[in-house]
Structure 1
Amino acid sequence: MGISDEFKKFGAKQKNIQWSVSAFNDKDELVVSIWGHQPLLVFNKESRIQIYKDKVSRWSGLGNQEFRKNIEIAYLKNLKVRPIITLSKNFEEILKGIDGSQFKNTFNAKLNWVGIVKLWDGENFIIEFVEEKT
């Protein structure tokens, strides 16, 4: 499935399917597409927390501008964050700054993960996710 289908699983609609990597749903949760590769996403076995650390200057464009606004809102309002895990065979190139949208990527909405933005300083961000108990 494509990224738009994964956003729909959370009840969120991208402003632009070509570049939006974040959107709010009707529950006031921020839905984000994040890379599922280390070193950006790391699982802490002791705490059972998935920790995503990244910086927004790693990419540019309209999706970046939208993401900056959305993550700031989620951080200031302490909103829940829902992840779509994105994987790419070209991740090493993406880490070097190559635009990841040009590669064939896979997307997986983690419906049972819920997170919170732990750090946002206008450049760096950390989102911590836990498995939601149902």
Structure 2
Amino acid sequence: MTDLIMYKINETAKEKQVVNLCRKLGLKTRKLKDSDAKIIVGTLTGNGKINVSPNSQMLNTANQNVPNGYSLPELIVFSGLKDNKLDEFLAEYKKMGISPIGLKAVVTIHNVNWTMYELAEELVRERISIMYGKD
């Protein structure tokens, strides 16, 4: 699995900072488009569909149609990074003073077969839960 960072960043300056950081660390990047919302995460990362954990709580993709006009929120998705590389990325990100991206995910056996829409919406729900203490 190749080290890959997928992103949707709304500010051009921040996007350049993130891309430059990835280059510095030898990480490949993929800029996400709103049209990627309906595509499976594993397809976008180049991993295709893989076997999922038997304990995985898969979202029902048949019922998760992407609404017309949907725009992916600002997010960053890490795929294939070892813990030390992820830690290095996050430390450098902070050190460089890049403004935060609230939605972050690591591709796992639990979410690799979700659509990007499902992943983004789950991240939004988790963020709201953390911010407001709701389940």
TM-score (norm 1): 0.26
Q: Relative to total residues, which structure has the larger strand share, 1 or 2? A: 1
* Higher relative contact order (Cα pairs below 8 Å, separated by 6+ residues): 2
TM-score by length of 2: 0.25
Report which of the two structures shows the higher radius of gyration computed on alpha carbons.
2
Structure richer in helix, relative to its length: 2
